[in-house]
Amino acid sequence: MVYKVIGLMSGSSLDGLDIVFAELTEVRGQWTYNILAADCLPYSPEWLNKLSTATSLSAQDYLLLHSAYGHYLGEQVNTFIHQHQLDHQVHFIASHGHTTFHMPAQQMTAQLGDGAAISAKTGLPVISDLRAMDVALGGQGAPIVPVGEKLLLPGFAYWLNLGGIANISSETATGDFVAFDVCPANRVLNALASQLGREYDENGALAAGGIVDEALLARLNALEYYAAPYPKSLANEFGTATVLPLVREFSISVQGKLRTYAEHIAQQVYEAVLKIHPGITPSTPAKKLLVTGGGAFNTFLIQRIHDKLEQLGIDVVVPDAQTVAYKEAIIMALIGALRWRQEDNVLSSVTGASRNSIGGALWMGES
């Protein structure tokens, strides 16, 4: 079967809306993908402000934003379809939305972007609310991309995504596929770079010129979350309300903070691998770790992760730029296709839910 799907993803780093038009092919349980068109649309200052402050709104204003953002997403999809001449080619849309509240301990997660509004605007079927079913079943609702890594990106021992939050996926010695959020990543790095008038630290050049502050690094590594066993996940607020205030306590240069935080990410990735495979030793051939997400373009950070993981016999692989940038949007398209087929698209071994589930609300659009 062939599915031509638009996947929408807005990550916690708020670097823009990722839109992918992908052709997904399933033959006897084996999936392949082909990116036919892709764009990353930066948010305007107005939308950046709306999304970054959404959790402080009243219930009424929050729901109004939920609807308005859904219509915005629909408008962006319509423009994307027109610009790439995709009329009458799209089977359906799978939209992740933009995560605001994420409280799995209270069995609640919320993503802005009303699926009904997207469907009304585009006239296409829309699958949204992809995390809600898993959370209702007692799961973390995150990460949800591992099912796509397993089906679309085989051949690796580990998959690392460096977005606003870093997360890792792997198969345990017992054959279970597991994943969890490692630590805040680009959300903190970008916030620090903004203090020097930069949107982000290009290639990690600022961090590379800094010096690690061992006291700050020790405080970061001692945060309670890191000692907790998986399954576990992080809300965006961990980076903004816990990590950044801690970093600001230290009177060191911004470059020193960037260098120290890059070291923190590399250390936590190393520790995450040890959590999954406590007895790992260097082996021949080396195991491979695939890195995607915006942080994969941070060459200094990648080098520090490589230096750490090399001690465990793990090669760090950065794929082509399209896969790096759009992996999550591609996987949202796949999750939508699995929902369309009424097949499991969230793995309980990853999230800790009571069972695998078929996540996603379906809005049918025009009859």
- CATH code that applies to domain 2-139+344-363: 3.30.420.40
Identify which of 49, 128, 113 has the alpha carbon closest to the alpha carbon of residue 76. Answer: 113
Average pLDDT over residues 3-32: 93
Which residues, listed in sequence order, are joined to residue 20 by a DSSP beta bridge? 7, 38
- Residue 14's pLDDT is what? 83
Residue 101: enclosing H or E segment and its boundaries? strand 92-103
| pLDDT average, residue stretch 272-290 | 91
Apex 262 CA angle, 260 and 264, nearest 5: 70
Among residues 39, 160, 92, 94, the alpha carbon closest in space to that of 331 is found at 94
Q: Please give the structure tokens belonging to residue 195.
A: 């203090």
What's the whole-number mean pLDDT along residues 339-345? 97
Segment 226-263, tens digit of pLDDT: 999 999 999 888 999 999 999 999 999 999 999 999 99
Sign of the Cα torsion 119, 54, 76, 135 reads negative
What is the largest distance, in Å, between two alpha-carbon atoms of the chain?
61
- State the SS3 of 128-181: ECCCHHHHHCCCCCCCCCHHHHHHHCCCCCEEEEECCEEEEEEECCCCCEEEEE
CATH class, 146-322 region: alpha beta
Distances (CA, A) of 159 to 11, 68, 145: 17, 34, 10
In the predicted structure, residue 367 carries a pLDDT above the cut 80:
no
Is 252 strand, coil or helix? coil
pLDDT of 192-228, one tens digit each? 999 999 999 999 999 999 999 999 999 999 999 999 9
**What angle do the packed helices 254-276 and 214-221 form, to 10 degrees?**
40
pLDDT for residue 317: 97
> Where do you find CATH 3.30.420.40 in the chain?
2-139+344-363, 146-322
Q: What is the pLDDT of residues 113-154, one digit of tens each?
A: 999 999 999 999 999 999 999 999 999 998 889 899 999 999
301's tokens: 């950070």
Q: Is residue 43 a contact partner of residue 17, using CB atoms and an 8 Å limit?
A: yes
Residues 261, 192 contacting (CB under 8 angstroms) = yes
3-state secondary structure of 337: helix
Element (H, E) at 290: strand 287-292
Question: Are 107 and 135 contacting, i.e. CB atoms less than 8 angstroms apart?
Answer: yes
The pLDDT of residue 365 is 82
Burial letters for 187-196: b for 16+ Cβ neighbours within 10 Å, e otherwise?
bbbbbbbeee
The residue among 24 and 175 whose pLDDT is bigger is: 24
